[in-house]
Amino acid sequence: MAKIMDMETKIGRRFEGKVAIVTASTQGIGFAIAERLGLEGASVVISSRKQKNVDEAVEKLKNKGLEVFGVVCHVSNAQHRKDLIQKTVDKYGKIDVIVSNAAVNPSVDPLLRTLESILDKLWEINVKATVLLLQEAAPHLQKGSSIVIISSIAGYNPQPAMAMYGVTKTALLGLTKALATEMAPVTRVNAVAPGFVPTNFAAYITKDEGVAANEEKTLLGRLGTPKDMAAAAAFLASDDACYITGETLIVAGGLPSRL
C-alpha cells in the first residue's frame, strides 16, 4: 500500500470526489486509464463485454486500494448502454468523466473487399456507440465534466491493413469537434490519438518483427505504453485542461500526424 501511496503522491489527486466511466476498460489502454483515474482519486466505473473480465479487472483495481465498480457493457447494445449509465448514477449519484475507449477491428481486408457487415460493425462500435452512450449520459453530466474519446494515429493516415478502422478513427476527430461545440460550456470534449501500443488489441501490428519496424518510425525510438495513453487521457479529463476542448492530443512518439 505504501508503494501505491507514493505513486498517488507523485501523480496527484486531480479526480478526488469525481466519478469516471471508462468503456472497454478491463485490459490494455482502457484498463490503464481506469487505473490512472482511480489512483488520482476518482470513483471509477469499468466495463467490458464479459462478466469474467469485469470481475477480474475490478479485483485487480480494488487490490490497489481503488474505488471501483464494474458493469457488463457491450457498447453496441442499447440496454447495456442504458444500464451502464443508470447503474453508475444509482451508485454514485453523478458522472464527471467519460472515456470512450471501445473499438473493434475485425478485418484486415482492403476497403473494396470488406464485407458490408464488417463495415457496419466498425461504424457501429467505433463511432456511433459513442454518440448513443453520450445521449444516455448527458442528463447526468456535471458542470465542468469532461469527455475523452480514444481515436488513433491511424485516423490521420489509415494503413492498408486497417483501412476502415482508420477511417472510423478519422471520424472520431470530427466527432470530437462537433460534440465539443454542442456540449459547451457544461462539458469539455477532447480526444487522444495513440500511436503504436503493444496490447492484445494491436498485437497483429506490434508483435515480433513489427515491433522493430514500428519503433523505427517514431522519433523517440520506442512504442507507446498503456500508461502513456492513460497519462494523456487523465490530463485532458482533468481541470488542468479546463481551457481545452474540441482538440485531439496525439500521443505517438513523433509519428507523422497530418491529415
Q: What would the pLDDT profile of 74-111 be if each residue is shown by its tens digit?
A: 999 999 999 999 999 999 999 999 999 999 998 888 99
Q: Which of 92, 165, 204, 243 is catalytic?
A: 165
**Res 65: pLDDT:** 97
pTM attached to this predicted model: 0.92
- Between CA 101 and CA 248 the distance in angstroms is 14
156 is catalytic: no
Mean pLDDT of the 205-228 span: 79
Grid cell listed for 130: 459513442
**Res 38: pLDDT:** 98
Arithmetic mean of pLDDT over the chain: 92
Confidence of residue 201 (pLDDT cuts 50, 70, 90): low
- Between CA 204 and CA 202 the distance in angstroms is 6
DSSP per-residue letters across 112-145 = GG--HHHHHHHHIIIIIHHHHHHHHHGGGEEEEE
**Res 3: pLDDT:** 45
Nearest to 108 by CA among 166, 43, 51: 166
Phi then psi for residue 88, to 5 deg, are: -65, -45
Confidence of residue 1 (pLDDT cuts 50, 70, 90): very low
**Res 254: pLDDT:** 93
Mean pLDDT of the 216-244 span: 95
Please tell me whether the peptide bond between 160 and the residue prior to it is cis, using omega within 30 degrees of 0: no
**Res 256: pLDDT:** 83
Grid cell listed for 176: 470530437
194 pLDDT above the threshold of 90: yes
Helical packing angle, 2-11 and 28-39, nearest 10°: 90
Mean pLDDT of the 42-59 span: 97
